[in-house]
Amino acid sequence: MANGQRGCEAPHCEQPGEFRAPGGRKSGFDGPGDYRWFCLDHVRAFNAGYNYFAGMSAEEIQAAQSPIHGWDTESRAFSPTAGIDAAPRWADYADPLEAIARRARAQKPAERQDGRMVLPEERKALDMLGLPLDADRHALRSRYSQLVRRYHPDRNGGDRSMEQRLQCVVEAYQLLRKSSVFA
């Protein structure tokens, strides 16, 4: 379309596409889904035939229609642990402020030899993969491949006992591969 406007994605339509409609890929873990752009007439036609609940089971539909849908999970800040692994063992400290200070030091970013800062969650992911603080992208990829081969059920004769460990390895790798530490 001229003027930098988006065109309507309906076949043979010359109108500007001003209205967004869900595309082929839905929103999920990887981010927002795809969208299509239609003119007013075509978005009305699209909406008339759109079924949000298509492919859902009866239980999933009921959960999605619940008034508290989406509110049933706790955000990290308001969870009982507030995102902290465990409470300090107060008996190990003579001064309670020492316990609090130690936890605060543990949650400070660490510095690598190249000067890049490693956040606490990145450090935890490195520990999960068994990598040192100064690991490079090649070491990350090779360690990830090694651990996936070790823990994947297909490599263990169908044994699913390591499935949780595999999931933790994948999550740690996903966090680190997007991190500025490995840019």
Average pLDDT of span 11-22? 90
Dihedral of the CA atoms 29, 31, 36, 40 (nearest 10)? 100
- Tell how far CA 29 is from the center of its chain: 5
Residue 127 has pLDDT above 60, yes or no: yes
In the chain, what percentage of residues exceed pLDDT 90? 16
Residue 140 has pLDDT above 80, yes or no: yes
Q: Where is pLDDT greater, at 118 or 38? A: 38
Q: Rounded CA gap, 149 and 166, in Å? A: 9
Copy the structure tokens of residue 112.
């690598």
pLDDT of residue 63: 84
Residue 135 has pLDDT above 60, yes or no: yes
This prediction's pTM: 0.43
The secondary structure of 108-168 as a DSSP string is: SPEE-TTS-EE-HHHHHHHHHHT--TT--HHHHHHHHHHHHHHH-GGGGTT--TTHHHHHH
Task: Sketch out the chain's domains with CATH numbers.
Answer: 2-65 (no CATH), 75-107 (no CATH), 110-182 (1.10.287.110)
Band the pLDDT of 53: cuts 50, 70, 90.
confident
Copy the structure tokens of residue 153.
């059920």
Query: Mean pLDDT over all residues of the chain?
Result: 80
Residue 77 has pLDDT above 60, yes or no: no
Residue 76 has pLDDT above 90, yes or no: no
pLDDT of residue 159: 72
pLDDT digits (tens, 9 = 90+) for 24-44: 776 666 666 788 899 999 999
